[in-house]
Chains A and B, each alone.
Chain A
Amino acid sequence: MPEQARSGAAPAVIELRGITRVYGRGEAEVRALDGIDLTIRAGEFVAIMGPSGSGKSTAMNVIGCLDSPTAGEYLFNGVDVAGLDKDQRALLRRHYLGFVFQGYNLLPRTPALENVELPLIYKGLGATERRARALVALEQVGLAHRADHDPSELSGGQQQRVAIARALAGSPEVLLADEPTGNLDTHRSAEIMELLVRLRAETGLTIVMVTHEEDMAAYADRLIWMVDGRIAEDRPTKGGARDAG
């Protein structure tokens, strides 16, 4: 898959055409997204950057199907999902998407393993299979030995790795990371980014990441720069360019 991604021949997972998201009405109207066109291919690692208020979080929410666009077309694996209702979007998230947030968003007072099992419960898996798959996911992020620990007993970096394991456990096609290193120091941030790069290499995952740190964006293949709800720049990163050779 990564080979395909580099050659640009991989199929498009996400295609946004003229996506617009407007909040409020009349005088108070805010155009958070103003006609976005964007194609992300399978196995790509895309970083979205931009000043605050540029619409990068809104773009993330729309791509992650947490929000629906006001206008435009959103093709996910070629299927238009812009008009899906709340429950259909939940199903899409359940089966195809995984989320990693800045604040980790783990369930408090709940062991790491059960946090990782959470999406599998909604996938309807039995207890035994859930446990097995959650353990595999924890192993992938190197935290199998911490399976029984509550989030409060883990460091920030470990919590974020548990969150990544949770996102992976459901075997998503696309991982959406919203400032995943925002709460971490440089060293832990680098660990998380290396983990993401490694996971992409191992599983062919597509990763879309919002960040405000150039250093983190450098781990991606491609950088989208947003200003005022539009894409101002879309280019390969230095790292990505180097990889593409």
Chain B
Amino acid sequence: MLGETIKLAVRAIWRNALRSFLTVLGVVIGVAAVIAMVTVGQGSSAQVTQDVEKLGTNVLIVRPGQNAMGPRSSSTSARPFDLRDVARLIREVPAVETASAAEQSQMSVVAGNLNHRATVVGAGNAYLDATDWEVALGRRFLGGEEQGGRAVCLLGETVRQELFGNTDPVGDKIRMKSISCEVIGVLEAKGASSFGSDQDDIVMMPVRAFHRRIAGSSNVNLIYVAVRDGVSTDLASSEIEAVLREMRRIGTGEEDDFTVMDMKQLASMLTGITDVLTGLLAAVAAVSLLVGGIGIMNIMLVSVTERTHEIGIRLAVGAQARQVLQQFLVEAIVLSLMGGLMGIALGLGLAALAAQVMAIPFTPDPWVVLGAFAFSALVGVVFGYFPARRAARLDPIEALRHQ
């Protein structure tokens, strides 16, 4: 009986192919939008996670203040670190392989008559180790250069291209603010981060040089910690916390005035933002599904009116109300499921295209696809029920008289 009803529904839909297609367009667009949004969102989350993990899975980031991602003003309440703190972390925490301050500032960098705005980072070789960053050309900092805060720098690939083209800049000088700095090497290209910012748009100099010549203070607001091989980041961060609490004289029961974060936490925090955005966009897209459902209800009401005579005939030969109800309900469900299937195909297609363009992984989630399918069936049930009930309640005599 159900098979019969489905066959009947498909035939009725096919009979008005164009009208049926236009009717389900709302559902098609709604489902496609939801699937595309969620798939792209998940893809970019995966990208963020991947990027952050590229920074090193055994890296911890230590910042003053509790608000890890908040504005720097948090450091007004929490005392910044200094280089002695960094040295003590290396010396006193067994789990720490090495650690480096990483101070940064945006400024113009000049070479000859060329000028380029870049991020200037004050750090050391330990930073390169922690972030697994190789020097492609030239050399790393010498111990004496780091200790003495000499004006030497490593260029990111973008800065090199902007100021020196493809020539070898090693040995040349660049100027930032009033200081002059000798180029000792070029860092290997890393490409764009997941937020589109160019990681190669960087000039790196020893942190002491940065403090003395650029920042004018010896504050450290960001410490990169490389955890010793074989030690879990959880253990390392609790050890670091314990040492820092002691160093900063935080009493028992008082809250930390610093934050230790591993890359997984950072990743989940960043993907959390993406997920919220994705959810919002998908919710907006879902509204169009609702509109699509109303379209289906509208056309089913028209269909019931058009086919009143047919309903009369069916009732006369012995169809019961629920069989008429079932017929029209099934028709609405088949209609919206067709829309759902088309929407799934379209949505996945769009997501694949977007993934290609945005260079993020295309990771369709079977649960999302299944959910969209189920939701479109639900749309059929909800919006098909009212017209179907109207059909089922028709009086056979009245319906037969209707032409």
Q: Which residues does A use to contact B, with CB under 8 Å?
A: 61, 64, 66-67, 86-87, 90-91, 93-95, 99, 101, 105-107, 109, 118-119, 121-124, 166, 170
Contact = CB atoms under 8 A, between A and B. Distances in A.
A93 B317 contact: yes
B321 A170 contact: no
Contacts of A87: 320-322
B1 interface: yes
Nearest first, the 7 A-B pairs at minimum CB distance are A94-B318, A119-B317, A90-B320, A93-B318, A122-B318, A87-B320, A66-B396
B4 interface: yes
A94 B1 contact: no
A103 B321 CA distance: 23
A119 B396 contact: no
Contact of A90 (B4, B313, B321, B400): B321
A90 B318 contact: yes
Most A CB contacts (10 A, CB to CB) among B15, B315, B316, B319 go to: B316
Contacts of B309: 105
A67 B397 contact: yes
A166 B313 CA distance: 11
Most B CB contacts (10 A, CB to CB) among A87, A90, A109, A118 go to: A90
11 contacts: A66-B396, A66-B397, A67-B397, A86-B321, A87-B320, A87-B321, A87-B322, A90-B320, A105-B313, A109-B15, A170-B318
B211 interface: no
A91 B320 contact: yes
Contacts of A105: 309, 312-313, 316, 400
Contacts of B320: 86-87, 90-91, 122
Contacts of B4: 121
B316 A99 contact: yes
A122 B316 CA distance: 11
Nearest to A95: B318
A118 B15 contact: no
Interface in B354-403: 396-397, 400
Contacts of B1: 121, 124
Given A66-B397, A109-B15, A124-B1, A118 B314 contact: yes
A86 B325 CA distance: 14
Contacts of A118: 313-314, 317
A105 B399 CA distance: 11
A119 B318 contact: yes
Interface string B280-322: 0000000000000000000000000000011011111111111
Given A105-B400, A109-B15, A121-B4, A66 B318 contact: no
Interface of B: 1, 4, 15, 309-310, 312-323, 396-397, 400
Given A119-B318, A122-B320, 8 more contacts: A64-B316, A86-B320, A90-B320, A90-B321, A101-B400, A107-B310, A122-B319, A170-B318
B396 A94 contact: no
A66 B314 CA distance: 12
A93 B316 CA distance: 7
Contact of A94 (B312, B313, B317, B400): B317
Contacts of A91: 318, 320
A110 B160 CA distance: 77
A66 B312 CA distance: 10
A122 B317 contact: yes
A61 B320 CA distance: 17
Most B CB contacts (10 A, CB to CB) among A91, A107, A122 go to: A122
A166 B314 CA distance: 12
Given A107-B310, A122-B323, A124-B1, A90 B315 contact: yes
A107 B312 CA distance: 10
Most B CB contacts (10 A, CB to CB) among A91, A107, A109, A170 go to: A107
A59 to B, nearest CB: 13
Nearest to A92: B318
A85 B15 CA distance: 34
Nearest to A123: B318
Contacts of A61: 397
Nearest to B317: A119
B150 to A, nearest CB: 91
A83 B246 CA distance: 91
A87 B320 CA distance: 5
A91 B318 CA distance: 6
B6 to A, nearest CB: 13
A61 B397 CA distance: 8
B204 to A, nearest CB: 78
Contact of A166 (B312, B317, B396, B397): B317
A90 B309 CA distance: 16
A64 B397 CA distance: 11
B17 to A, nearest CB: 14
Contacts of A90: 315, 318-321
Nearest to B323: A122
A106 B314 CA distance: 10
A64 B4 CA distance: 27
B316 A66 contact: yes
B217 to A, nearest CB: 86
A91 B316 CA distance: 10
